[in-house]
Every structure is written in C-alpha cells, then in structure tokens.
Structure 1
C-alpha cells in the first residue's frame, strides 16, 4: 500500500513539474485594452503583435469604437499573421482571432466573454466585424459591466441582458426554423442564449416558454408548432423530463440542454444531464449543462442543411 502511494506521489510530482515547465514556456505577457495596453516580450525576447485597432485608438466606421492606451511604444507588427497552415489570424496580443473559420465552417468565430475584460470583448468584436462586415458577430457570457461598455462603443448593436449576449452586424437571412422549448421561466437565460445563437447562425428561432411536464397540457397544446420545426432544442432543469416527452411526440431532430435549475441540491444540473442522457425516447442528443450556445449552433446547422436538401432543383 505504501509502495503504491509512493509511486502515485512521485508521478504526481513529475506531472506537476512537467505542467509547470510547459506553462512557463507558453506564458506570454497579456496586452490589455482600455488604458492598460502595454508592450511586453515572450520568453524569446520577441514583442507580440498588437492589432491596429487596439493600438491606434481610432474610431471604427459605423461603430463609434474608441480604444485608448497609455503606452503607445509597442511595435505595430500588423494584425494578420500566417499560421502553419496559412490560415489568416488576427493577433490582438491577448487573443488570436480565427479569421478563416467562416471559410472552413460557414460561420465566423464567436467571442466567449467570460473571463475577458470589457476592452477585450470590444476589441475582439470590432476586429471580427471588420473581417466579416456582411455577417453578425456574437459575444456570449458577457457580464453586465461589459455589456454596458459595448453599448457605449458600438452603434449597430443588439444586447440581450437576460441571455448575456451582444451582437453587432446583421444576421444572415434565415434558412430553416428551430423550436426552442423551455420547461420553465427559470430556464429562459439559457433559452435566450440559444435563440440568439440560432439567429446569428442563420436560422429562425421560435421560442416556446413554460411548457414543462408538470402541466403537460401546455406542451400538448404546442405539439404541432414544435413538430413543424426543422430542429428542436428542449431545455429543462429539475428532473428534465421535457426532452423525452417531446421525443415521444414528434420525430424532429432533438437537442436537449440540461440546466442548473431546481429545488435543493441538483448537483448543479448533473441530475438533469444524466436524466437526458438516459432518455427512453430515441434520438435525444444532449449537450453540456446550461450550454444554450452549443445547442443553438448545432440546431441552426441542422435547420440550414434541412432547408438546403429540401430546396427545389
């Protein structure tokens, strides 16, 4: 027993040392926006590129964006860097934006706002919109401070405070429809994140609210509406029976989203997720807890493909 413990401890130390070494090699100074942009060098002594938008502080046409910085002595090495595959990226110092994603997947990169400063989010949104002026650019999980900052910086903007999303630019014309069905009003933040994502990714969301199985007649009254969609996203917490019931009522592609909603301790949504993964109804695909964004992307792509295959030749 002691021998096994010794081996385990030695292995853990080796892993920790290995991780620490790798982290130190990868770590580079972060270049912050909004008055704190500063130059820095990586472990090779090289300055990181800074996007021209962030460095100049000039206004972006149509958006009223201003990004200021105290230290403008950072070398401007350009915003476009070739990667190993030749795909274009925009190096903002704190992020490398994937400008080629729309060519590979049909959809531009989305800004994940959690953990980013308001300046990070504004700079990333502006640069992505500059690269894709004909597409809507989405930021998710944007906190209240950052949402207010975005409102001040952009003119062509749509903010959903409940979903914590920010969108700039016009979404594409919708192809196909997705029914976004949530069990209760408490699930609305996830449902609205999902609906916004579906819009940005080129399909039409139809939000069906508060039709949980505790009042099954409410769901049955919406059956035809749900069955007429090209895809369905079913969102529920607690015991999460909604997706299984919908799966037994209609044969539309169905994505289930468990939420961290319920009385008492529901293991932060794990009970809902396990229930959905073990659905008796066949064809229920489950994403992670509270992941309205991931479900929205998948549902929109299903709806778009369904419309494409049904289009007259």
Structure 2
C-alpha cells in the first residue's frame, strides 16, 4: 500500500463515499500480514516508497505463490527477483498479467500503469558476462518507474568503447556500473563524470577473482569520488539505491 492509497481512503471517508468500517477493513493488514511462513509487509510502500519485493531463492513455489496471492489482493505491481522458470510457471496459474525476464531472473506482475521518471538511470557493464546482474538492475529500476538506458560491454580492456559513451553519461542522472574481474569500470566512470555512481561487483572472473571479492574490494578502495558500492551480484540493491536518488531529484523538480 502506498501513501496515495491511504490518502484516497481518508478522502473517501471524509467525503462520505466510504464507511468507516470499510476503511478499517481496507487497512486491517497494516503493517503486515502473518502467513505463518512469511510476514507480508503491506506497510513497506508507505515507509520506503515501493512495496515489498519477493526474493525467490530458497523459497518453495507454494510459499512464493502464497505471498503473491496476498499481494495481488492489494492490486499493486509485484516484483519477484531471482526467479527461475519453475517459479514463473507456478505464478502463471494465478494471473496472466505477468512477464518473465529470463536473463534478469525477474517476474513482474503488472496491475498498475508504470509512469517513467523524467530523470534517467544509465546501466553500464564491463562485459557481456555481466549482463545477468545488469539486467536485474535495469528491469528492477524500470518497474520502479525509472527511465533506463543501457551501455553494455564497455569495459576498460577496450577503453575506446567506454569513451564512446560520453553522451549517455552526460545525459544520465545516476549511473550503475556492473563489472567483475578487477572491477575497474566503476573507478574509471566515476573519474569521467560528476554523476553519482552505484557500483556493482560481479562474481565474473578467473580464480583470483574469488567469486567477486576482488572486484568488491577494488570498488571499495577506489580513489574516485562520488562512488557507492553494493554487494556482489546485487543488481536489485543497486537499482533500489539509484531509484532512491532519482526520487529525490524528481521531488526537487516539483
């Protein structure tokens, strides 16, 4: 439930279009609804600006379906991350209003129209091998209502590919850089622009990459300014942080 939903309920009560008991019924599951195996946080949209997102790994399909069913009662858009084909097939039994983004491993159930921001997020990758994490970030950001551009396979091994993206970097309000190996992309991009950078280390790389630890430490130790780092392979977290920044920019425009 979003702030707008609460305002609509209060307005309808004030205008006499909604009985008090009906309003209470609409609010009965705030702040959360206990399903036994999960406590669905219906209050999150009010607190954080976006409803709870379902992380599917290590949940059974029945648990995921149960959570989705309760969230669908709110007639809101639903984002399920780290979802495989089995989860997608299970959720198709509940609704036809869904789309599966296989590369991003995301299922989106869209009940409300998504209005895109005037501000823009640019998602960049070092290589094609980083696309799974990058698409998780890009799709998440789009579902949250952001205008997203992509610039993939522009790593520092061919620096001319990155320099060719100057116009896109200049137009963006926030840049998400996704890279494995030594994770140099974030530092170089941050040195080329005054935009806030959200850096995502990936587990892509050879043995001494240590499943992304080398890239994570390189990004944390960057000498470039204006750089924030999320956890390894956390495209979702990068998108959420970028969305928070964009929301502040959009609010300042109003």
8 A contact 1:113–1:142 mirrored in 2: yes
1:156 to 78, 97, 122: 97
**Structure 2 SS opposite 1:162:** coil
Instruction: Map Cα deviations across residues 192-215 of structure 1 (whole Å, 9 max, x no partner).
Output: 110111112221121211100111
Supply the distance in 2 between the matched residues of 1:112 and 1:254 (Cα, whole angstroms).
25
Larger radius of gyration: 1
1:272 to 198, 211, 215: 215
Instruction: Map Cα deviations across residues 219-258 of structure 1 (whole Å, 9 max, x no partner).
Output: 1111111221111100000011101111011111110000
1:289 to 202, 222, 232: 232
2:203 to 260, 276, 284: 260
1:250 to 172, 190, 193: 193
1:226 to 2:169 alignment: yes
Using the TM superposition, give the Cα deviation of residue 171 of structure 1 relative to its aligned residue in structure 2, in angstroms: 5.3
- What is residue 138 of structure 1 aligned with on the other side? 79
**Structure 2 SS opposite 1:215:** helix
8 A contact 1:273–1:288 mirrored in 2: yes
8 A contact 1:171–1:199 mirrored in 2: no
- With over 3 angstroms needed to count, the CA separation of the structure-2 counterparts of 1:151 and 1:265, relative to structure 1, is farther
**Structure 1 SS opposite 2:203:** coil
TM-score, normalising length: structure 1: 0.69
**Structure 1 SS opposite 2:92:** helix
Using the TM superposition, give the Cα deviation of residue 144 of structure 1 relative to its aligned residue in structure 2, in angstroms: 2.6
2:147 to 198, 204, 220: 204
Matches within 5 A, 1:120-131: 120-131=63-74
- What is residue 239 of structure 1 aligned with on the other side? 182
Matches within 5 A, 1:38-77: none
- With over 3 angstroms needed to count, the CA separation of the structure-2 counterparts of 1:265 and 1:81, relative to structure 1, is farther
- What is residue 306 of structure 1 aligned with on the other side? 249
**Structure 2 SS opposite 1:249:** coil
1:166 to 2:104 alignment: no
8 A contact 1:81–1:91 mirrored in 2: no
Instruction: Map Cα deviations across residues 147-174 of structure 1 (whole Å, 9 max, x no partner).
Output: 2222343200011111111110145301
Q: Report 1 or 2 for greater relative contact order, CA contacts < 8 Å, sequence distance ≥ 6.
A: 2
TM-score, normalising length: structure 2: 0.84
Supply the distance in 2 between the matched residues of 1:192 and 1:173 (Cα, whole angstroms).
20
Structure 2 spans left out of the alignment, 5+ residues: 1-24
Supply the distance in 2 between the matched residues of 1:262 and 1:233 (Cα, whole angstroms).
19
- What is residue 17 of structure 2 aligned with on the other side? none
Supply the distance in 2 between the matched residues of 1:285 and 1:238 (Cα, whole angstroms).
18
8 A contact 2:178–2:200 mirrored in 1: yes
**Structure 2 SS opposite 1:167:** strand
Structure 1 stretches of 4+ with a deviation exceeding 6 A read none
Supply the distance in 2 between the matched residues of 1:306 and 1:293 (Cα, whole angstroms).
20
- What is residue 29 of structure 1 aligned with on the other side? none
Supply the distance in 2 between the matched residues of 1:151 and 1:214 (Cα, whole angstroms).
42
